[in-house]
């Protein structure tokens, strides 16, 4: 897609589409009313037909396999640290704190999803996940940003990537909530690009008679949209050197982590990753590892069973570095990756899709969507840090309506984490529920971890029917 269509002239666009074998986009032109024609012309004008042609090429039969790739685990900065690693961690934390204080770090939030799978009508970031407060994901992230600013005496710009489906509503929510206490000038919104879905012959699918079937271009598109929107230039003007990239669905994420920032800077990394140890070999999560010597994310289905089960001398999974989509990315690295268009590989997702057929009827067809993945940029970084963090402290995503990685498990993990802090500080806990959980929530403005919670002194609790909410005042 291109951000600003240069023409919405029907004959010119019709000719352009026909030149690329996509004349069917105008099959229902005579039946459309004026608004429908305007909508169709706007979408066709925004199509990068050269890119569509490259995508169609990805649908051709694969070339014969040139041989198996070599897979290896990453160099991991593990949670299990000897004296040298502990010293390195202390020095790195000091350096990371300096970067934050120097206003060189910005938050980069991927928030293009809707919460429809969770039974909620709105952006996923607006979904209420606070186990006692009912605070939304957006608000929890905002309060972590405010807390980091207070700790480091700094200002942290926040760039929020939306999508065509939720951009307007996301902006409205921030305005309605007075930007959650942030200065509106430090928050920038930009929208993810959409690309046409194709049938298996390479023809663009139609969602309606006056609309193309468009799909998000994947989380790798965050980098391209950051550049095309002007937000990347804004970050440069503000003196930002490093983006802390994270996804909206993880209420435990810690974007302002001095240790991670310091290790990343000390190693001269251009992109780095946080990981958690897989629960077991069968957990269906991609792992950070080396693919023919280049760092990347190895999808669960691409990891042979013998490597999936392989263990090191300590009995730990060899390929255990579960990707949690928390990265540090240098601003000049993003500039390099997007200077001539997004320089990341495209991936094909084949699936059944509902569309409008040549006769105008709705039908389900085999089609393909095309995505880029941000972790593919890891292989372009000459140095990188893979930092292992505690799952219970930093990762509990809200992805599914029920079961694992659901609102229930995220609230459970939040309660367990905060109850541990309260218990360690010698404070009183509310009575447990039937599942043994204490309904406790700690405001990110009060504490980032158990140590800062204990150091904050006796909190003033606000009690409601659900339990105790610890806040600053």
Confirm whether 151 is domain-assigned: yes
Closest CA to 278 of 224, 324, 211: 324
Number of domains in the chain: 2
Q: How far is the C-alpha of 178 from the C-alpha of 146, rounded, in Å?
A: 14
Assessment of whether the complete model's pTM goes beyond 0.75: yes
Residues 243, 328: contact at Cβ < 8 Å? yes
Q: Quick one: pLDDT at residue 66?
A: 55
Assess whether pLDDT exceeds 80 at residue 460: no
Q: Are residues 121 and 155 in the same domain?
A: yes
Residue 368's DSSP bridge partners are 198, 350
| Integer Cα distance of 324 and 372 in angstroms | 17
Report the chain's mean pLDDT, rounded to a whole number: 92
Q: Which has more confidence, 72 or 64?
A: 72
Is the pLDDT confidence value at 413 over 80?
A: yes
Tokens, residue 139: 């608000």
Q: What is the pLDDT at residue 468?
A: 46
Report pLDDT for 343.
Answer: 85
Q: Which two tokens stand for residue 116?
A: 């429809």
- pLDDT of the residue at 461: 52
Would residue 228 count as lying in a domain? yes
* Rounded (10°) angle between helices 137-152 and 83-101: 90
Which domain covers residue 36, as residue numbers? 10-47
Taking residues 22-28, what's their average pLDDT?
96
311 within domain boundaries: yes
Domain end marker among 376, 399, 422: 399
Q: What is the pLDDT of residues 117-154, one digit of tens each?
A: 999 999 999 999 999 999 999 999 999 999 999 999 99
Q: Give counts: helices (H), strands (E), the chain.
A: 14, 21
In a domain, 417, yes or no: no
Do 75 and 42 have their domain in common? Answer: no
CA atoms within 13 A on the CB side of 223: 30
Confirm whether 457 is domain-assigned.
no
Q: CATH number, domain at 148?
A: 3.90.550.10
């Amino acid at each position: 897609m291109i951000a600003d269509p240069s023409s919405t002239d029907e004959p010119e666009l019709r000719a352009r589409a026909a030149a690329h074998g996509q004349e069917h986009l105008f099959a229902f032109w005579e039946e459309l009313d004026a608004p429908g024609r305007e909508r169709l012309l706007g979408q066709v004008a925004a199509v990068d037909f050269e890119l569509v042609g490259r995508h169609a090429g990805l649908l051709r039969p694969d070339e014969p396999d040139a041989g198996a790739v070599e897979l290896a685990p990453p160099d991991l900065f593990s949670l299990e640290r000897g004296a040298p690693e502990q010293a390195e961690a202390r020095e790195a934390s000091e350096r990371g704190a300096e970067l934050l204080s120097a206003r060189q770090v910005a938050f980069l939030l991927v928030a293009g999803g809707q919460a429809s799978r969770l039974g909620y009508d709105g952006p996923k970031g607006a979904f209420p996940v606070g186990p006692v407060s009912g605070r939304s994901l957006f608000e929890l992230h905002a309060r972590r940003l405010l807390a980091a600013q207070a700790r480091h005496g700094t200002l942290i710009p926040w760039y929020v990537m939306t999508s065509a489906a939720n951009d307007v509503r996301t902006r409205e929510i921030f305005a309605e909530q007075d930007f959650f206490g942030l200065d509106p000038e430090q928050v920038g919104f930009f929208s993810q690009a959409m690309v046409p879905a194709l049938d298996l012959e390479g023809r663009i699918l139609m969602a309606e008679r006056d609309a193309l079937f468009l799909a998000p271009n994947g989380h790798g598109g965050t980098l391209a949209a950051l550049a095309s929107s002007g937000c990347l230039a804004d970050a440069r003007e503000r003196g930002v050197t490093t983006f802390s990239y994270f996804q909206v669905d993880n209420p435990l994420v810690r974007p302002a982590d001095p240790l991670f920032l310091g290790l990343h800077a000390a190693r001269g990394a251009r992109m780095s990753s946080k990981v958690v140890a897989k629960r077991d070999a069968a957990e269906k999560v991609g792992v950070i590892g080396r693919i023919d010597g280049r760092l990347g994310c190895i999808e669960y289905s691409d990891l042979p069973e013998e490597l999936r089960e392989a263990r090191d001398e300590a009995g730990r999974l060899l390929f255990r570095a579960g990707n949690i989509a928390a990265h540090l990315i240098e601003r000049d690295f993003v500039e390099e990756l997007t200077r001539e268009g997004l320089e990341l590989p495209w991936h094909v997702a084949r699936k059944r899709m509902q569309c409008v057929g040549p006769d105008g009827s709705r039908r389900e067809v085999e089609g393909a969507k095309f995505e880029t993945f941000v972790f593919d940029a890891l292989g372009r970084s000459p140095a990188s840090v893979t930092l292992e963090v505690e799952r219970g402290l930093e990762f509990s995503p809200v992805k599914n309506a029920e079961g694992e990685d659901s609102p229930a498990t995220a609230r459970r993990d939040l309660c367990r984490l905060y109850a541990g802090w309260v218990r360690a500080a010698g404070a009183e806990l509310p009575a447990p529920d039937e599942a043994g959980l204490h309904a406790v929530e700690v405001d990110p403005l009060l504490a980032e971890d158990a140590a800062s919670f204990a150091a904050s002194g006796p909190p003033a609790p606000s009690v409601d029917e659900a339990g105790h909410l610890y806040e600053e005042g």
